[in-house]
C-alpha cells in the first residue's frame, strides 16, 4: 500500500535535475528512462546561447554555466527533491578526478543532498562493464575541453586512444547534430585497439544510437545521459531494468 506521506507521483524518488537553459536533450532523455514511481524535475541553469568559436570562448561559456548553477540548485530545492542529477557534463570533468569531487561537494554543501554528476557517473558505468582499459570518445566540445575529459579518464586508469571534438558553434546547435554524423564518428572512433566508446556532452542526443551501436560493434558504447541516469537510479537503490537504452540499464 502506498504511503500517503510520500509524493503521489514520485513515491519512490523525486529527482531534481539540473541542466543549462539551452539544453533540449536531457529533459526528454531522462523522462524516457524514468521508471514508475520516480519523477524528474528540471531546473534550468540560466545561460545565454553562447557562440563557441574557439577554445577560449568555449571555456568562458562553460564557466558561465558553472557560475549560475547554485541558483538552479536553490530553485529546484523548493520542490523538496530526494536527490540531484546533473544534466550537464563539461564542467564536471574539469580538474580531473579531484575537480569532479570538489564540484560534487560544492553542490552538496548548497543543497544538503547527494547527487550524480556526468563525469563520475561515466567512470562508474565503465567500471560496471568491466575489462575496459582503452577508450575513445566523441564530444560536442572544443579541443581544450576534450583534454579535460582525457585527463579525468586517465585519473581513473583509462587510456584515451582517440577522441573527436565536434566543435559545435553554439549551445543549441549541439542538439542539432544528427544520427548520420554521429554514425560516421562512431566508425572513426572504433578499432581493435579500443575497448569501449563513450559520448560526453549532455545536449548531444545519443542514448538510442549508443544502444544500437553496442549491438553492431560488439563492445560497450556509453552515452553520458544514460550513464548519469543509471547512476542516479542505482545510487538510490532502484534496480529496475530499463530496456531500449543499452546494456547498462538492462544488465547492471
Q: What is the pLDDT of residues 144-167, one digit of tens each?
A: 999 999 999 999 999 999 999 999
CB crowding 155-182: b at 16 or more within 10 Å, else e: bbebebebbbbbbbeebebbbebeeeeb
Q: What is the pLDDT confidence band of residue 58, given thresholds at 50, 70 and 90?
A: confident
List the domain boundaries for the chain: 1-252
**Rounded to 5°, angle at Cα 10 from 209 and 36:** 45
Q: Residue 25: which H helix or E strand, with range?
A: none
Give the mean pLDDT of 104-111.
95
Q: What is the pLDDT confidence band of residue 1, given thresholds at 50, 70 and 90?
A: very low
Contact between residue 129 and residue 105 where contact means Cβ atoms under 8 Å apart: no
pLDDT at 59 over 80: no
Give the mean pLDDT of 35-56.
88
Q: What is the pLDDT of residues 214-248, one digit of tens each?
A: 999 999 999 999 999 999 999 999 999 999 999 99
How much of the chain exceeds pLDDT 70, in percent?
98
Q: What is the pLDDT confidence band of residue 171, given thresholds at 50, 70 and 90?
A: very high
Which pLDDT score, from 0 to 100, does residue 4 have?
A: 65
Helical segments of 78-117, H only: 90-93, 96-111
User: Class for domain 1-252, per CATH?
Assistant: alpha beta
Name the one residue in this structure whose C-alpha cell is 549532455. 202
Name the one residue in this structure whose C-alpha cell is 577522441. 163
Question: In 3-state terms, the chain is what percent helix, strand and coil (to 5)?
Answer: 45, 15, 35
Amino acid at each position: 500500500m502506498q504511503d500517503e506521506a510520500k509524493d503521489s507521483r514520485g513515491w519512490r524518488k523525486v529527482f531534481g535535475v539540473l541542466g543549462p537553459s539551452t539544453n533540449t536533450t536531457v529533459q526528454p532523455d531522462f523522462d524516457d528512462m524514468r521508471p514508475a514511481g520516480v519523477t524528474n524535475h528540471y531546473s534550468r541553469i540560466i545561460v545565454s546561447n553562447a557562440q563557441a568559436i574557439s577554445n577560449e570562448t568555449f571555456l568562458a561559456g562553460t564557466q558561465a554555466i558553472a557560475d549560475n548553477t547554485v541558483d538552479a540548485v536553490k530553485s529546484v530545492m523548493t520542490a523538496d527533491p530526494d536527490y540531484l542529477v546533473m544534466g550537464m557534463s563539461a564542467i564536471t570533468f574539469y580538474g580531473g578526478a579531484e575537480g569532479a569531487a570538489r564540484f560534487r561537494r560544492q553542490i552538496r554543501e548548497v543543497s544538503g543532498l547527494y547527487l550524480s554528476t556526468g563525469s563520475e557517473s561515466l567512470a562508474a558505468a565503465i567500471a560496471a562493464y568491466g575489462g575496459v582499459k582503452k577508450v575513445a570518445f566523441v564530444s560536442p566540445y572544443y579541443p581544450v575541453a576534450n583534454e579535460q575529459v582525457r585527463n579525468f579518464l586517465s585519473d581513473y586508469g583509462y587510456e584515451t586512444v582517440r577522441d573527436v571534438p565536434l566543435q559545435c558553434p553554439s549551445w543549441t546547435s549541439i542538439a542539432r547534430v544528427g544520427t548520420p554524423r554521429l554514425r560516421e564518428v562512431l566508425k572513426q572512433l572504433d578499432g581493435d585497439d579500443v575497448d569501449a566508446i563513450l559520448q560526453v556532452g549532455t545536449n548531444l542526443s545519443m542514448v538510442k544510437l549508443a544502444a544500437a551501436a553496442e549491438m553492431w560493434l560488439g563492445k560497450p558504447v556509453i552515452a553520458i545521459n544514460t550513464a548519469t541516469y543509471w547512476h542516479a537510479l542505482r545510487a538510490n537503490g532502484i534496480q529496475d531494468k530499463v530496456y531500449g537504452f543499452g546494456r547498462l540499464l538492462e544488465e547492471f
